[in-house]
Amino acid sequence: MIQKPYKVATFFGCIGKDKFGEILKKKTEEAHVDAHYYEQSEQPTGTCAACITGDNRSLVANLAAANCYDKTKHLDLKENWQLVEKAKVYYIAGFFLTVSPESILKVATQASENNKIFCLNLSAPFISQFFKEPLMKVLPYVDILFGNETEAAAFAKEQGFETEDIKEIARKTQALPKVNTKEAPDCVVYTGTWDMPPSWQQ
């Protein structure tokens, strides 16, 4: 829940014209998120069922409309792009690489050219494994990369890092080429139980 001032975060996504889409719009409004959805009628709003047992969980997702985002019909619209230009920090899930990598690159370039912070989440091992090309096109623009140990290991294997040590994977990821060489240091964050080096806790 975003506290006052309200609507300091803007969200873009794709939904269907159905009850689940209405639920999303209602919930983002309640959370004070400035949501701007691309609404289409070809696919229903994406849904996900989660089963949690102890420390384990299983997900079954129907992505549906989430796969239908159209850059030319939403991101490129003047009123939406103006919101992108106003933002100071950008966060995009790696899953979106399977849908509209061109949208990600447009936002990433905007961030780089204006010295703003661009964040990406690896999201799942299959992103590094099967969407390596679009991922590596975006990665040079990333200021903060998020991922868990499993995602980090998959990324390291695809990059030929030849190590399974999480800290070393993070260091090697930090050393990859970067488009924007502004003074603010890159920060690679992998969630987990290991202790993050003090220099990365900034």
Does position 92 have pLDDT exceeding 90, yes or no? yes
Q: What is the DSSP letter of 160?
A: T
Q: Which residues of the chain are in CATH 3.40.1190.20 domains? A: 87-202
Q: Name the token pair of 1.
A: 């829940």
Pair type for strands 47-53 and 56-62:
antiparallel
Its CATH architecture, for the domain 87-202, is 3-Layer(aba) Sandwich (3.40)
pLDDT value of residue 199: 47
Residue 199 near residue 154, CB atoms below 8 Å: no
Residue 168 near residue 155, CB atoms below 8 Å: no
Does position 193 have pLDDT exceeding 60, yes or no? no
pLDDT in tens, 102-111: 999 999 999 9
How sure is the predictor about 190, in pLDDT bands with cuts at 50, 70 and 90? Answer: low
Q: Give the C-alpha separation, 140 to 102, whole Å.
A: 15
Q: Name the token pair of 175.
A: 């050393």
pLDDT value of residue 91: 97
43: helix, coil or strand?
A: coil
pLDDT in tens, 5-46: 777 899 999 999 999 999 999 999 999 999 999 999 999 999
